[in-house]
Amino acid sequence: MRFMIIIKSDEETDAGRVPSEAEFAAMAQFNQEMADAGILLGAEGLLDSGKGARVKLTGGKTTITDGPFTESKELVAGFWMIKADSLEEAIDWAGRVPSPPDIETNLEVRQVVEASADYAETYTDELGEGEDRLREQIADNR
């Protein structure tokens, strides 16, 4: 199973707070531990919402709202994509995320859809083959 560990943003991170050298080092060590354990599939941090936009699609109409966004607790600051045998294992890894003692770190753990298993009634073999080809193409893009 694949899981995403989502780092929730807060007022400091969305104001553009730059992690210290020690925080970067702790995060790099944690990422290496996950890579060494064979579970890390991807990891990225995101810039603050002031450098982004929201795109809303409604009835064929597109509405764009430039950041920053005021409700920072609903924003994402970064993520890890991991593979784990269970939600409990993914939560265990989330509990190991380095967190500065003076900052509250909020994480969300979500299982990634495996369409062929989770939506077997409507997800055809043809769609699965197309997804496999797309994943190969994406891997080539890296």
Domains of the chain: 2-111 (3.30.70.1060), 114-142 (no CATH)
Q: What tens digit of pLDDT does each residue of 90-137 get?
A: 999 999 999 988 888 999 999 999 888 888 899 999 999 999 999 899
Mean pLDDT of all residues in 58-71: 91
Is a pLDDT exceeding 90 seen at residue 63? yes
DSSP notation for 98-133: ---TTS---EEEEEPP-HHHHTTTT--HHHHHHHHH
Closest CA to 111 of 135, 94, 129: 94
pLDDT over 70, % of the chain: 99
Question: Which pLDDT belongs to residue 23?
Answer: 93
Tokens found for residue 52 = 């982004």
Question: Which pLDDT belongs to residue 25?
Answer: 96
Q: What is the average pLDDT score of the chain? A: 92
Question: Which pLDDT belongs to residue 6?
Answer: 97
Q: Spell out the residues 6+ positions from residue 59 whose beta carbon is closer than 8 angstroms to its own.
A: none
Rg (CA), the chain: 18
